[in-house]
Amino acid sequence: MAGTGIGGDTELATPDDTRVLLVGNPNVGKSVVFSRLTGVGTMCSNYPGTTVEFLEGSMRLAGERVPVIDVPGTYGLAATCPAEDVACRILDDGGVIVNVIDATNLERNLALTLQLRQRPLRMVVALNLWDETRHRGIHIDAERLSELLGVPVIPTSAVAGVGIRDLVEAIEHVATSETPEVLEPGDVWCRLGTIIEEVQQLEHRHHTWRDVLEDITIKPVTGILFGILVLLAAFAMVRFFGETVIAYVMEPLFETLWRPVVTALSEALGGAGFIHDLLVGSYVLIDGVRTLDFVQSFGLLTTGLFVVFGMVMPYVTAFYFVLGLMEDVGYLPRLALLLDRVMHRLGLHGYAVIPILLAFGCNVPGILATRVLDTRRERFIAATLISVGVPCAALQAMIFALLGPHGVQYVLLVYAILVIVWFVLGTVLRLTSRDFLPEIILEIPSYRRPSFRTLWQKLAMRLRGFFREAVPVVFLGVVVIDLIYMTGAFDLIARLAGPMMETLFGLPPETALAIAVGFLRKDVAIGMLAPLDLSAIQLVKSSVMLALTFPCIATYAVMLRELGWLDTLKATGLMLTIALVAGVAMNLVL
Amino acid sequence: MRARLENMGLRPGKSVTKLSSMPSGGPIMVECGGTRVALGRGIAQHVRVRGASQRSESGTDRDE
């Protein structure tokens, strides 16, 4: 069953006719069916010219390996949003259709099935979530449904792996047979009613614990309390996992296994020089000892590798796991519903909460995730808000370490100021953009038992994406900072900007250098503040300034790629303005 | 918009149940034919509901 990514497979003469397309409404367990059919080794692609992603894998069909595509979820064949548009375009390119439908919600799902049946397509219907129908007192006559639709209907429970073998057989059969006759055009809704009446019987349903949970999570008061609990638990899990892995796995690995290698390389290169500083970095003084430091030396093989694997990856892995869990259980749409009103004040929809949540781990995946937003304007606002006002896990850890000893009230003050800045900036963005923000229409799926198979597959895919996107950028960032350091530009920045820091913000001139370094790594920059002997209030001010000014270079590069030059410049302008205003305001008020 | 709602199962003549409503003009959540959907207040205002019975279920006559 296992197969590898199939991008650019040239073996197949007419890949479009043999490939298998999984089509269905959102939230019907399509991805679980996909992971059952394809096993490991999938890849995530963008449909050419769009930002809509879909999964691609392969399966063995009648002795041959054929591509399988998990088409973005769609409610109908008229494109009403970017994801649906991509779904329609993939369908137009041909293939064998596996229409995955939710057996617990036959009526809505069959609307798409009937629309598909009005096209000349070879197709199989997978009646998924079949096991759920029993708990809910739903009886469906699958054979009769198959007769009425004129295509095979296979009951499946993909999470448990039930019915997958039958489904594969049916796909094989359909793939080699003639295209079934198209259902004559007619009123889809009318026919839908007749079919439902004939094949489905409903029993009276008892109130289950799921209904109770449902009620708690969507009513305004209890829902918001529940939401806060879920988010706190998520943050706690991510921090716990991230910190544990860093302290007990990554740091020991780097110190015991990697340090000897780097030290030997440093000696071989003569301990200094251009190539040496680029690869290994420069020696720094830590507690009076001249040493190579994985955080501060800024070599490709020291800081470059350590930032990716030792600092960011553990948090990102934990974040993706928790997020995937919330996704698969079906909680995220409810969070979007609860927060829609608040997000509208910032010119965003409720579901922008997903990228923003992600950004609290690391801004890079957060900004990448803004792709889920429908309009360009929303993507711009979300990316700007993230880069300006969402401190990543590394930055938060440093703020805690630096301000914690002065008292927790100072830590809270930093967060409070960030929240204020956030809402001011969000309001400005909302009022200045002229685009129309369409209102939310969002299906709230039932709570589901997550499939760990799918969770794992999704985690692996997202991590691969993270490495592809982030690693080159971090390496580039390290090279750039090395080159700037060598030209002495940082000293110049500190000398030029220093007096300004004093008069405008009431901070010592040396903090300018920290903020300049913050462009590359925020956590490193905050570390630079430690020896300056600042007062608690000065630390609060400089922490806020660091959080508000440029995101780290990795985030910046991703922004550039996602938004383009013009919008990135606009975001930068906003960022500098708001940092300036906030800095002066803090100097006057605090 | 209408097509999207219809494909999601919200069609004229179906019965809808309001499940929840966010304060200060936030979205409302309805159930219709087994599907739960969150709708922005503005869209929801365009959904005309006819003849609610005691159990707050009602026939609808939707009008975009």
Return d(Cα B10, Cα A360) in angstroms, integer: 36
Note whether residue A527 is domain-resident. yes
Note whether residue A451 is domain-resident. no
CA-to-CA dists, residue A578 to A48, A552, A586, B36, angstroms: 36, 17, 12, 40
Reduced 3-state DSSP string for A480-527: HHHHHHHHCHHHHHHHHHHHHHHHHHCCCCCHHHHHHHHCCCHHHHHH
Return d(Cα A393, Cα A449) in angstroms, integer: 29
Does A76 lie at the interface with B, CB-CB under 8 angstroms? yes
Does A82 lie at the interface with B, CB-CB under 8 angstroms? no
Does B20 lie at the interface with A, CB-CB under 8 angstroms? yes
Return d(Cα A154, Cα A129) in angstroms, integer: 11
Which of A75, A105, A220 lies closest to B7 in CB terms? A75
Does B57 lie at the interface with A, CB-CB under 8 angstroms? no
Does B55 lie at the interface with A, CB-CB under 8 angstroms? no
A519-556: per-residue pLDDT in tens? 766 666 777 777 777 888 988 998 898 888 867 777 88
Whether residue A300 sits in one domain with residue A374: yes
Q: pLDDT 10s per residue in chain A (590 long)?
A: 333 333 333 333 344 678 999 999 988 888 889 988 987 666 666 555 555 678 888 898 888 888 999 998 888 888 777 778 888 888 888 889 999 999 988 988 998 999 999 888 899 999 999 988 888 888 999 999 999 999 999 999 988 889 999 999 999 998 888 778 777 767 778 888 889 888 988 887 667 787 888 889 989 899 999 999 998 898 788 878 888 998 999 999 999 999 999 999 999 998 888 889 889 988 877 777 888 888 777 788 988 888 788 877 887 788 888 888 988 888 988 998 998 888 888 888 888 887 888 788 778 778 877 877 878 888 899 999 999 988 887 777 778 778 888 888 998 899 999 999 999 999 998 888 766 667 888 888 888 888 888 888 888 877 887 787 667 777 877 787 788 778 877 778 777 888 888 888 888 887 887 777 777 666 667 777 777 778 889 889 988 988 888 677 778 877 888 888 899 999 999 998 998 899 999 989 88
Whether residue A283 sits in one domain with residue A167: no
Whether residue A226 sits in one domain with residue A196: no
Indicate the pairing of strand A138-140 with strand A200-202.
Answer: antiparallel
Note whether residue A102 is domain-resident. yes
Q: What is the DSSP string of B4-52?
A: HHHHTT--TT-EEEEEEE-TTT--EEEEETTEEEEE-HHHHHTEEEEEE
**Domains, chain B, ranges and CATH?**
2-62 (2.30.30.90)
**Per-residue pLDDT at A13:** 35
Range of the domain at A176: 15-206
CB-CB neighbors (< 8 A) of A111 in chain B: 6-7, 9
Does A345 lie at the interface with B, CB-CB under 8 angstroms? no
Note whether residue A215 is domain-resident. no
Q: The tokens 């490193």 sit on which residue?
A: A524
CB A341 to CB B19 under 8 A?
Answer: no
Whether residue A234 sits in one domain with residue A161: no
CB-CB neighbors (< 8 A) of A333 in chain B: 38
Mutation target for B interface from A211, A440, A447: give the one with most B CBs within 10 A: A440
CB A341 to CB B25 under 8 A?
Answer: yes
Number of domains in chain A: 2
As a whole-number percent, the residues of chain A with pLDDT over 70 amount to: 92
B44/chain A closest Cα distance in angstroms: 10
**Residue whose C-alpha is closest to residue A245's, from A233, A256, A237, A235:** A237
Whether residue A389 sits in one domain with residue A252: yes
B42/chain A closest Cα distance in angstroms: 7
Where are the extended beta strands (E) located within A360-406? Answer: none
Whether residue A428 sits in one domain with residue A284: yes
Whether residue A178 sits in one domain with residue A85: yes
Return d(Cα A350, Cα A334) in angstroms, integer: 9
Does A333 lie at the interface with B, CB-CB under 8 angstroms? yes
Whether residue A198 sits in one domain with residue A235: no
Return d(Cα A208, Cα A39) in angstroms, integer: 34
Whether residue A195 sits in one domain with residue A284: no
**Which of A181, A206, A231 is the last residue before a domain boundary?**
A206
**Which of A206, A237, A261 is the last residue before a domain boundary?**
A206
Whether residue A269 sits in one domain with residue A145: no
Amino acid at A279: L
Query: Residue B14 — pLDDT band, cuts 50, 70, 90?
Result: confident
DSSP category for residue A27: T
Q: What is the DSSP string of A524-561?
A: HHHHHHGGG---HHHHHHHHHHHHHS---HHHHHHHHH
CA-to-CA dists, residue A270 to A255, A273, A345, angstroms: 21, 8, 58
Characterize B3-34 residue by residue with b for buried, 16 or more Cβ atoms within 10 angstroms of its Cβ, and e for exposed.
Answer: ebbbbbbbbeebebeebbbbeeebbbbbbbbb
Mutation target for A interface from B37, B60, B62: give the one with most A CBs within 10 A: B37
CATH number of the domain residue A180 falls in: 3.40.50.300
Contact, A326 vs A234, CB < 8 A? Answer: yes
* Segment holding A99, helix H or strand E: strand A96-102
A18-66: per-residue pLDDT in tens? 899 999 998 888 888 998 898 766 666 655 555 567 888 889 888 888 8
Note whether residue A211 is domain-resident. no
Does A80 lie at the interface with B, CB-CB under 8 angstroms? yes
Whether residue A109 sits in one domain with residue A59: yes
Does B6 lie at the interface with A, CB-CB under 8 angstroms? yes
Residue A147: CB atoms within 10 Å = 13
Rounded CA Rg of chain A: 27
Which of A80, A108, A441 lies closest to B39 in CB terms? A441
CB A112 to CB B7 under 8 A?
Answer: yes
**What are the tokens at A544?**
């806020």
Note whether residue A62 is domain-resident. yes
Complex ipTM above 0.85? Answer: no
Q: What is the DSSP string of A238-305?
A: HHHHHHHHIIIIIHHHIIIIIHHHHHHHHHHTTT-SHHHHHHT---EEETTEEE--TTTS--IIIIIH
* Segment holding A577, helix H or strand E: helix A553-589
Whether residue A507 sits in one domain with residue A554: yes
Which of A107, A337, A338 lies closest to B9 in CB terms? A107
CB-CB neighbors (< 8 A) of A112 in chain B: 7
Which of B20, B36, B38 lies closest to A440 in CB terms? B38
Which residues are within 8 A (CB) of A268 and not within 5 positions of it... i.e. 6 or more apart? none
Note whether residue A443 is domain-resident. no
**Which of A162, A182, A206 is the last residue before a domain boundary?**
A206
DSSP category for residue A67: E
Note whether residue A131 is domain-resident. yes
